[in-house]
Chain A
């Protein structure tokens, strides 16, 4: 059996939200929704799991903080403790206030950049990546819902027609 999907196009985000709710309540699995802008509440309506990216960012921040503490301690206290303008360098704690700006910045740096890289990796984004756009209009003013067909083409088409879709296409994937 070929991999057939149905593409339903909408031209309004409110209609799209209602359609998503209807399709979900009819117990069909929505593969993907393509929208030109973030639609508030769409993830909840689709039943997507909340993102964990904030947690990764927190952990990356801790890594950055640890790195900054290790770096300042190794460079300024252990490796070559010079007397620079009378700053106390007998222990890391004695000179700690001077290291706080570095600690803060490195925490933010690690938290921000590693989180962004995580986001790129998880959402498979990189330069020269081929766009996965099923219909160019979805980057401008149309919304597209993609549902896999498992021999229930007629039923799905009539359901989607009821939801106010402006265009319904059945497409062979690959």
Chain B
């Protein structure tokens, strides 16, 4: 039995406290009125004017700026006040969104990783994999984070439908009312799917469904330990088949509801798989990191370097899979260049160039080059090293999915963002390791256990 005591618990709680302080300070730092934003913009604008005199290196930027200024002056002639106001108000809303979006990115990242560990575990059961039985308790332990993180997620989403935050623009008042100033015909056309009651009910159905499977599967898995027959094993197998069917649909719909609807004018058919891929590779990475950690503490004597090798192979393969989907989505839209689709990437290219492009080396080139070598895949340090970069890269992926629609150009990875990561990391460590401590680390009673213990590649 693994004991969750002392140092790690302190670290987890400390992370949560520090993270909570970061999140709260993010909320306190938002401007309280449009006037404050105007003041800020005015100062920034003056600073920029001085900058525009700079030499040819900033030629293009300066040109763009000039054009902007001309626009500004032309409009200023008749609507100085009105224009300044609407721009300041826009920025005000984005700054108001920032702490919420920061929480949402970290929350969604840790939720997705946990959910995909659950799915990966179900896949291993359904495929009757012979290598992974000794890792089942690690995976089940990680899914111990599912209940707390989905509860927070559900509360967060319901706060959205209660208009406490405004991340989902289609929820705003008047978007589907033809007489309102805020009327949006495109959103109105989608309102058969994107409406608050339907969206709320779907969210609850997904979350309840996943947690139900997690609960029942864990129960059956623990029951297996003391059984001499295969009743629980068979039950778990059937449940996992049913869950994977349910998961395939709900994962796709979840990604439309919770991520794609942040940009309600945009749509992409492979978006569900793309979200799946980003969390799949992160989930396998998290399994590998937790396994290596427990192994280094001597709690997994039955795990050998062939198991680590297999996990690293999955990291390698799913990294390529993620890149394939990421590129396919990007290239098809870039190639056809249809305005209603392209705006999505234009915004990411112009305002998010660094995180958007940093994903390619972090999520593709680095893990590929590091994990292509069969010997390196057996060395825990390499797996951890690649894993940390992969996780940071996929955090950026979620960041670039959520931030452009909510805070636009006002993004920064600062105190609220890092605070949210630390908070949910602390929660993850606490939930996962207290869950691992609740059961023996070897899933006895599984018919493939011996094969897994003697697994050798």
Contact = CB atoms under 8 A, between A and B. Distances in A.
A97 interface: yes
A6 to B, nearest CB: 33
A116 interface: no
B337 interface: yes
Contact of A100 (B331, B337, B372): B331
A97 B333 CA distance: 11
Contacts of A34: none
Nearest to A41: B456
Contacts of B374: 54
B335 interface: yes
B331 A97 contact: yes
B267 interface: no
A86 B335 CA distance: 10
B349 to A, nearest CB: 12
B337 A98 contact: no
B327 A100 contact: yes
B193 interface: no
Contacts of B331: 97-98, 100
Nearest to B331: A97
A58 interface: yes
B334 interface: yes
A50 to B, nearest CB: 9
A58 B334 CA distance: 30
A51 to B, nearest CB: 11
B335 A97 contact: yes
Interface in B285-321: none
A139 to B, nearest CB: 29
B60 to A, nearest CB: 14
Contacts of A100: 327, 331
Nearest to A54: B374
B337 A86 contact: yes
Contacts of B376: none
A126 to B, nearest CB: 29
A107 B331 CA distance: 19
B334 A97 contact: yes
What band does the interface of chain B fall in when counting residues whose beta carbon is under 8 Å from A?
Answer: under 10
Contacts of A86: 337
A58 B373 CA distance: 10
A98 B372 CA distance: 26
Interface string B333-354: 0110100000000000000000
B330 interface: yes
B337 A97 contact: no
Contacts of B330: 97
Interface string A46-66: 000000001000100000000
A98 B374 CA distance: 32
A100 B331 CA distance: 9
A98 B327 contact: no
B336 to A, nearest CB: 10
Contacts of A58: 372
A86 B331 CA distance: 15
Nearest to B324: A104
Contacts of A54: 374
B12 to A, nearest CB: 41
A100 B360 CA distance: 14
Interface in A81-126: 86, 97-98, 100
Nearest to A58: B372
A86 B336 CA distance: 10
A97, A98, A100 — which one has the most chain B CB atoms within 10 A of its CB? A97
A58 B368 CA distance: 12
B452 to A, nearest CB: 18
A25 B298 CA distance: 35
B321 to A, nearest CB: 14
Nearest to A101: B331
Nearest to A97: B331
Given A97-B330, A97-B335, A98-B331, 9 more contacts: A54-B374, A58-B372, A86-B337, A97-B327, A97-B331, A97-B334, A98-B335, A100-B327, A100-B331
12 contacts: A54-B374, A58-B372, A86-B337, A97-B327, A97-B330, A97-B331, A97-B334, A97-B335, A98-B331, A98-B335, A100-B327, A100-B331
- Shortest 4 CB-CB distances between A and B: which pairs? A97-B331, A97-B334, A98-B335, A100-B327
